[in-house]
Amino acid sequence: MSDQRTGAGVDLHLDLDPALTRRGAVERAVREAIRAGRLAPGARLPATRRLAVELGLARNTVAAAYDQLVAEGYLTARRGAGTRVAPLSRPTTPAVATAPDAPGPRHDLTPGSPDVSAFPTTAWLRATRRALLAAPAGAHGYGDPRGRVELRTALAEYLGRTRGVQATPERIVVTSGYVQALALLASVVDGPVAMEDPGLPFHRDVVARAGRAVTPLPVDERGATVPDGVAAAVVTPAHQYPTGTPLHPARRRALTAWARDSGAMLVEDDYDGEFRYDRHPLGAVQGTASDHVVYAGSASKTLGPGVRLGWLVLPPRWVDPVVDAKLYADHHTEAIGQLALADLIATHAYDRHVRGRRLRYRRRRDRRRRDLLVRRLDALGLPVRGVSAGLHVLVEHHDETAVLARAAALGLAVSGLREHWHDPRAATRQGVVVGYATPAEHAYRAALDALTRALTA
């Protein structure tokens, strides 16, 4: 970074955190000064040499901290203009932007979310910045209902490489998460939709609200069974939700044969396919029957549900109807987030993030560690299902109601299996669905302590 600015720039008081490295402490102090509004957009920072002298640090340390903050988008650096606070580095409506989230449960093991405190903020900032700078003006206008071609191209490559999906950008539609994808699919099929039993009740409601009758698709130890007399079936082959069973190879074949022979739509919800631990990766079913299977994916488990980005890879005959439904739903999904995700995937920062997360979640359920999930549940003698993949397990228990009552008293959020059955009175098993990826790292063990107590009579 150039430093012809000695003497220029605002006066700045920075408290450096001694627990951090020197560079990290400078970064954090400047970042917090910007976030708190003590450094206004456009304000010129002290020259590196001057700040280094004031703080008693090496000039390189300050320069490296500035460089990092430039990369994160907090600062801008231009030769001759010095280093300044970036124009958009502070929310303009702090009252709204800083409104706190509603308080959550004391211990959160609800399934459905990764550890959102591990969102890759720095990588996302870099990707958004690069994407915005490179975006053509057209990106800010109305665009293709299928979504940005940059993202569809990146997804076609990524899904082929990591999940064995047969995809071309023309067959991909970007959606606002899986939930919109499912609603669009339900709106274009003509007849009842079979949904796994047990399965996620919210998704049944989404299909019903799109005007389709929902029929139960029983799940056994081989995963979803083969439906009959429906226009579509929705399955979770990689890690059945909520039982955790992978779809047996014979069932994969039987289901694709059913779709081929009946002309019905088979929807593969690959919501946590990136996360597998002790077993060979199971490629997507779509890879073996791409003309009959709709592949659905989402960034909710890899990045966070707040991103609201999902995607469909469609058999050719379904492309036009789904694109038409998407156009009438919302024109298309918000463009800048799509461009940022395309950049994240193309630069492989997405792969690196997913790999890092996979290691973390695998460790959370480590069989060899007595204080971690699987050993604790083994010690209680409770059957645990779905350990080898995904972000949740099913813990079977003969008295689900009592477990949920104890959990509530402990401030622990978990999900009961009962609500997942189409008809809870016909439930054949009881238990709780535990989302072990949800808590932040520091809160994980306390959540497991609470779970152990809730499961113990």
Ligand X SMILES: Cc1ncc(COP(=O)(O)O)c(C=O)c1O
Residues near ligand X (CB under 6 A) are 112, 177-179, 200, 236, 241, 269, 271, 298, 300, 305, 310
Q: Which is nearer to ligand X, 171 or 392 (CB)?
A: 392
- Name, in order, each residue with C-beta under 8 angstroms of 156's C-beta and a sequence gap of 6 or more: 167, 168, 169, 172, 313
**3-state secondary structure (DSSP) of residue 58:** coil
Q: Give the other-Cβ count within 10 Å of 141's Cβ.
A: 8
Strand partners, 175: 310
Looking at the Cβ atoms of 128 and 236, the one nearer to ligand X is 236
CB of 408 to ligand X, least distance (A): 21
Closer Cβ to ligand X, 300 or 388, answer by number = 300
**Parallel, antiparallel, or unpaired: how do β-strands 223-224 and 384-385 relate?**
unpaired
Tell me how far, at minimum, the Cβ of 269 lies from ligand X, in Å.
Answer: 5
In angstroms, give the least distance from the CB of 118 to ligand X: 17
Q: How many CB atoms lie within 10 A of CB 95?
A: 7
For residues 74 and 241, which CB has a smaller minimum distance to ligand X in the complex? Answer: 241
Cβ at position 271, least distance to ligand X in Å? 3
Q: How far apart are the first and last CA of the chain?
A: 63
Task: Rank residues 41 and 305 by Cβ distance to ligand X and give the closer one.
Answer: 305
What does the DSSP assignment read for 393-411? EEEE-S-HHHHHHHHHHHT
Nearest CB to ligand X, comparing residues 241 and 361: 241
Complex with ligand X: residue 72 or 269, whichever CB lies closer: 269
- Residue that has been written with the tokens 């593969």 in this structure: 268
Q: Which residues contact 388 (CB under 8 A, 6 or more apart)?
A: 246, 276, 277, 278, 279
Strand pairing class (384-385; 392-396): antiparallel
CB-nearer residue toward ligand X: 82 or 147: 147
Count the neighbouring beta carbons within 10 Å of the beta carbon of residue 383.
Answer: 12
What minimum distance in Å lies between the beta carbon of 180 and ligand X? 7
Minimum distance of ligand X from residue 386's CB (angstroms): 12
Residue 293 sits at φ, ψ, to 5 deg, of: -115, 135
Q: Which is nearer to ligand X, 68 or 110 (CB)?
A: 110
Say if residues 378 and 384 touch (Cβ distance below 8 Å): yes
Contacts of 389 (CB under 8 A, 6+ apart): 238, 239, 244, 246, 272, 275, 276, 277, 279, 282
Shortest Å, Cβ 129 to ligand X: 25
Cα gap 198→432, rounded to integer Å: 13
Q: How far is the CB of 23 from ligand X (least distance, A)?
A: 37
- Alpha-carbon distance of 38 to 25, in angstroms, equals 17
Helices (H), 189-334: 201-209, 249-262, 316-330
Nearest CB to ligand X, comparing residues 68 and 113:
113
Shortest distance, position 237 Cβ to ligand X, whole Å: 11
The least CB distance from residue 326 to ligand X, in Å, is 15
Contact call for residues 248 and 263 (beta carbons, < 8 A): no
Classify each residue of 244-260 as buried b or exposed e, where b means 16 or more C-beta atoms within 10 Å of its C-beta. Answer: bbbbeeebbeebbebbe
Sequence-distant (≥ 6) Cβ neighbours of residue 36 within 8 angstroms: none
